[in-house]
A and B are shown apart, each in its own frame.
Chain A
Amino acid sequence: DSGVTQTPKHLITATGQRVTLRCSPRSGDLSVYWYQQSLDQGLQFLIQYYNGEERAKGNILERFSAQQFPDLHSELNLSSLELGDSALYFCASSPGDSRNTIYFGEGSWLTVV
């Protein structure tokens, strides 16, 4: 158990819909990262927040957005869902914004039908 909690674990939704994935980082960790893992693209970095502020952006679609709240939990919002958005979405956390071990959650399986 990494200490990173993600909900929901599984989610099935229809195309065009909007979903929110939630992440609680390890106690005390200020940085939260979101990654997407799909069969064709592998593991891809989406976005990082550090203490409530966006710190780095990766290959995140404009239909996707994220935020980190004052209590440090984070949400990833996926809208206008397409079949290709079906993937495993991981949240990870680390203590700060310098070189630390990154701890990953168990992921949220999203299936778009």
Chain B
Amino acid sequence: DAKTTQPNSMESNEEEPVHLPCNHSTISGTDYIHWYRQLPSQGPEYVIHGLTSNVNNRMASLAIAEDRKSSTLILHRATLRDAAVYYCILESNAGGTSYGKLTFGQGTILTVHP
């Protein structure tokens, strides 16, 4: 499976935008980029996913580099509730692959200051 690299931790102030980077230089042309987050004492929660184009939803935006070797999760206005571990995951679209077989890395611990 292609690997992702994320900073171990990041800090932000409440109400400010947060840009969480992810490097995936060995991504294949059919790999989807997924972001999940895990709040304290909870299971992982889906945030967003994309293939080539930038994506927006009510939670966040996903900016994907033109060469697809990196991506950035953007939280437009961080709240205290956004403090979590954020995981960038590549999902292979190869034939026969289980779409739920996600390979979680160490993720980025996001701290949000009041």
Contact = CB atoms under 8 A, between A and B. Distances in A.
B46 A98 contact: no
Given A94-B99, A97-B98, A97-B99, A102 B104 contact: no
Interface residues of B, number: 21
B101 interface: yes
- Interface size, A (range): 20 to 34
Given A99-B32, A99-B91, A106 B101 contact: no
Contacts of B44: 43, 90, 92, 102, 104
Interface in A61-106: 90, 92, 94, 97-106
Contacts of B36: 102
A98 B46 CA distance: 16
6 contacts: A48-B98, A56-B100, A94-B99, A98-B99, A100-B99, A107-B43
Interface of B: 32, 36, 41-46, 87, 91, 93, 97-106
